[in-house]
Structure 1
Amino acid sequence: MCFLILFSLVRYACRLSLRVHYLPPYHLPTVTKRTVLSQMARIFEPLGWLAPITFYAKIFFRQLCLLHLEWDQPLSNESQPSWLRFQSQLPTLAELHIPRFIPAVSSSAHQLIGFCDSSESGYAAVVYLRSSTSSDQYHVSLLAAKSKIAPCKAVTLPRLELCGAHLLAKIMHHLSTRVMPNLTTECIAFCDSSVALSWIRGESHRWKIFVGNRVAEIQDLVPSDCWRHVVSEDNPADCASRGLMPADIHHHHLWWRGPPWPSLDASSWPLSSVDSSQIEQVEVEAKPISTFMLAAISDEPTLIERFSSYLRLKRVTAFYRRFILNARNPSLPRSGFLLSSRRPRSV
């Protein structure tokens, strides 16, 4: 089966919306890794509005790659039902209408609100536009989203959360500078990882290379004071970092509109602070502090090492002391032989 998903612009009484076009599939005798990749490439969805669905397909294809199947080898009985069930739900996307109406575009009361999240499978970012419609009401609409699967090499979850924050910073910077350069927009980024937020709010040179490079670029794109913490239940990026079936996205209000509180006044937003108990995970990526100690080592032998006889050492030391006394008091010079009674005082 092959399919093609497109978007078309529809106008309903001054309300603009996008409709998903689903072309009927044609029959394929077997499902292979080649046909799965071909069908995934036919989903034309550049702004990421269907990111939860495409992420599910990406994860499925990565599982096929880990099985080391040949390109034209049929899928196993364990893998094929999952893909067929995914395909069977794709026609329901034809009933989907994505509202694209943004009120008061010419005003400056706009905010870009972004969310990022990660899982063991990958990470994602989603951005909404918050527009002021009246003194106490705000309109929130989905602008763009993007998801990436995690590398096959094991990466810690805090590092994946930081990669999601890095992806969100790039999307928000692109939207504010390229897509909407004429609008005065304020950027507010949300992340549900206390460890990643602690890295972003710290100085980039404190962290190791992987974390430090990404923190430096994040701070260049979105200032660190624009980042806030959000609970996982209110994070819409969770949908795109874990994937959804096509039938589950239709009435998924958290994905299309975000959490309920962005449509309220900012003073009514919930306050969520960073978990300070995870300080140990934060310091794992800190560079070790190096301590240096300088010690001067002389190769010249000491006075004791120059003489093998203790009596000779006493005699020479006594002459040294006489020279010092004569230099300090030249009016009363001392000369002649040394008395044996004075030699112990000289040492």
Structure 2
Amino acid sequence: MLFRQMLTTSGNVDWDNPLDDSFHSKWSAWVSSTRHLQDLSIPRMCCKFSVIEALRKEVHIFTDASKDAIAAVAFLKVWKDGNNSDVGFLMGKAKVAPAHAHTIPRLELCGAVLGTEIAEIIKEHMDLEKNDFWFYSDARRFYVYVANRVSRIRSFSDPEQWRHIATDQNPADLGTRAFDAQSLPQSTWLRGPAFLREDNLSTTLVGEHQNFAFILDDDKEARPMVEVNKTSVEGDSCDLVVSRLERFSQWTKLVRSIAIFRHILVTKNLCEHSTKRWHYCPKSLDLNSLKAAEMFILKEIQKSEFRVEIESLNKGKPIPKNSSIIDLAPFLDSNGLLRVVGRIGIAQKFVSFDVHPIIIPKKSHVATLLIRHFHDSVFHQGRRITEGKIRSSGFWIIGAKRLIASEIHGCITCRRLRGVTFTLYMFLSTFA
């Protein structure tokens, strides 16, 4: 630090130029202080207890920074048993701070990186875990000005491993300023802070980070907080069910799957065939369960397509005039399904089919499944027979004629049955 001050404040100086009077006394004092280093000795053994046989080991690393230097020092704390512990110096490191464009908070971040580098060295040589390390700094917060520095710190330590410490208790503070070499043997740089020798550090540590304001509102070094609000609109539950129905290619498989699923949800804690978990039960495919599953599917597709009409009928109001099913004069039955009124409603007891068929929207995947199902049931007959089977089964598909014709046109079985056979012709070859 003294050498850099000589070069930066004296202007253009040469190596052989004599020192200014302002630096000559400082240089002489520093040279004379180095003779005290002859009496300095660091014990080879970190602690008086064996590290290998220790009950518990912790490494406490202190970091600090000033406008002149950054420093980090590490101490090892070893527990022989629950009551006996010892603290010893491991290693310390100090660097001259960059000369320009660095504030104290940014230098504190550099000191934290230096402490992380020391921790990586100690971990590699002492075979310790990352959870055995604790970090201390007297910085009020770390300003993220370089992302790789923060990622370097987070790659080795978690925020819970960092604690705030007052400057007068931080031994790394000695590495950031001028210090008399004569006082080094008894300094906290080599002996560590007094609180580190306590058994319960959480209660003896002064200035813990829980009640500390890491970012001040009027701090120019702190990046301003920017809040971004996001509004998400989730789809309706019936739309989600209808989208899942498109995964099925057969009407019978769809009804059976819904019946099993509904049975599991209702009786998973009551069924005598299983132990309160997902299971298959033969009762899920009885006639009542299949009929309930069919009604559930039809109600969901009607809610998805005719929501406004259903709400109007529930409130006792007429359906909107621009509705696509207004000509069918729909009404809601006891199950909440939309049905066609029809002109022969009074003849219900004289006919064998349902005179109030359930309305099926033409754009739904269920309409396609029903057409395929009844087309197979009439053994791939034509459009009229397929349409009559659908109507007699109690379904009114909007635009059924065009949908049935399109489905029959793409039916592979129908193409094979109605395909034109080829006629082989025999040609007589004439030979000259």
Shorter chain as denominator, the TM-score bin is 0.5 to 0.7
CA displacement 1:97-134 (0-9 Å, x = unmatched): 22232321213511110000111112111001111134
Question: Secondary structure at 2:22's aligned position in 1?
Answer: coil
**Counterpart residue number, 1:191:** 137
Q: Which has the higher strand share?
A: 1
Match for 2:30: what amino acid?
Answer: F
Match for 1:65: what amino acid?
Answer: L
CA displacement 1:224-280 (0-9 Å, x = unmatched): 22111111111000000113122221322x222211111111254225234327423
TM-score relative to the length of structure 2: 0.47
Match for 1:175: what amino acid?
Answer: I
* CA distance in 2 between partners of 1:94 and 1:88 (Å): 12
* CA distance in 2 between partners of 1:213 and 1:287 (Å): 21
Question: Secondary structure at 2:62's aligned position in 1?
Answer: strand
TM-score relative to the length of structure 1: 0.58
Unaligned runs of 5+ in 2: 231-432
**Counterpart residue number, 1:276:** 213
**Counterpart residue number, 2:306:** none
**Which has the larger displacement, 130-139 or 157-166?**
130-139
By relative contact order (CA 8 Å, sep 6+), the higher-ranking structure is 1
1:263 to 197, 201, 213: 197
Match for 1:142: what amino acid?
Answer: F
* CA distance in 2 between partners of 1:60 and 1:160 (Å): 19
* CA distance in 2 between partners of 1:170 and 1:154 (Å): 23
Maintained 8 Å contact 1:170/1:221 = no
**Which has the larger displacement, 160-169 or 241-250?**
241-250
Maintained 8 Å contact 2:141/2:214 = no
* CA distance in 2 between partners of 1:233 and 1:128 (Å): 17
Match for 1:285: what amino acid?
Answer: R
CA displacement 1:271-326 (0-9 Å, x = unmatched): 5234327423387235756899xxxxxxxxxxxxxxxxxxxxxxxxxxxxxxxxxx
* CA distance in 1 between partners of 2:19 and 2:66 (Å): 26
- Alignment of 1:112 with 2:112, yes or no, is no
Question: Secondary structure at 2:216's aligned position in 1?
Answer: helix
Pair 1:150–1:287, CA change in 2 (3 A): farther
Question: Secondary structure at 2:132's aligned position in 1?
Answer: strand
CA RMSD between the two structures: 2.9
Question: Secondary structure at 2:160's aligned position in 1?
Answer: helix
* CA distance in 2 between partners of 1:93 and 1:285 (Å): 44
Match for 2:39: what amino acid?
Answer: E
Maintained 8 Å contact 1:230/1:272 = yes
- Alignment of 1:78 with 2:15, yes or no, is no
2:223 to 249, 263, 285: 285
**Counterpart residue number, 2:112:** 165
Question: Secondary structure at 2:16's aligned position in 1?
Answer: coil
2:5 to 63, 70, 77: 63
Pair 1:115–1:62, CA change in 2 (3 A): same
Question: Secondary structure at 1:279's aligned position in 2?
Answer: coil
Pair 1:244–1:111, CA change in 2 (3 A): same
* CA distance in 1 between partners of 2:195 and 2:229 (Å): 49
CA displacement 1:177-222 (0-9 Å, x = unmatched): x2112689700001111212xx6xxxxxxx5xx2432111100022
Match for 2:186: what amino acid?
Answer: H
- Alignment of 1:100 with 2:44, yes or no, is yes
1:6-45 map, 5 Å: none
Match for 2:5: what amino acid?
Answer: Q
**Counterpart residue number, 1:297:** none
Residue 91 of structure 1: CA displacement? 1.6
**Counterpart residue number, 1:90:** 34
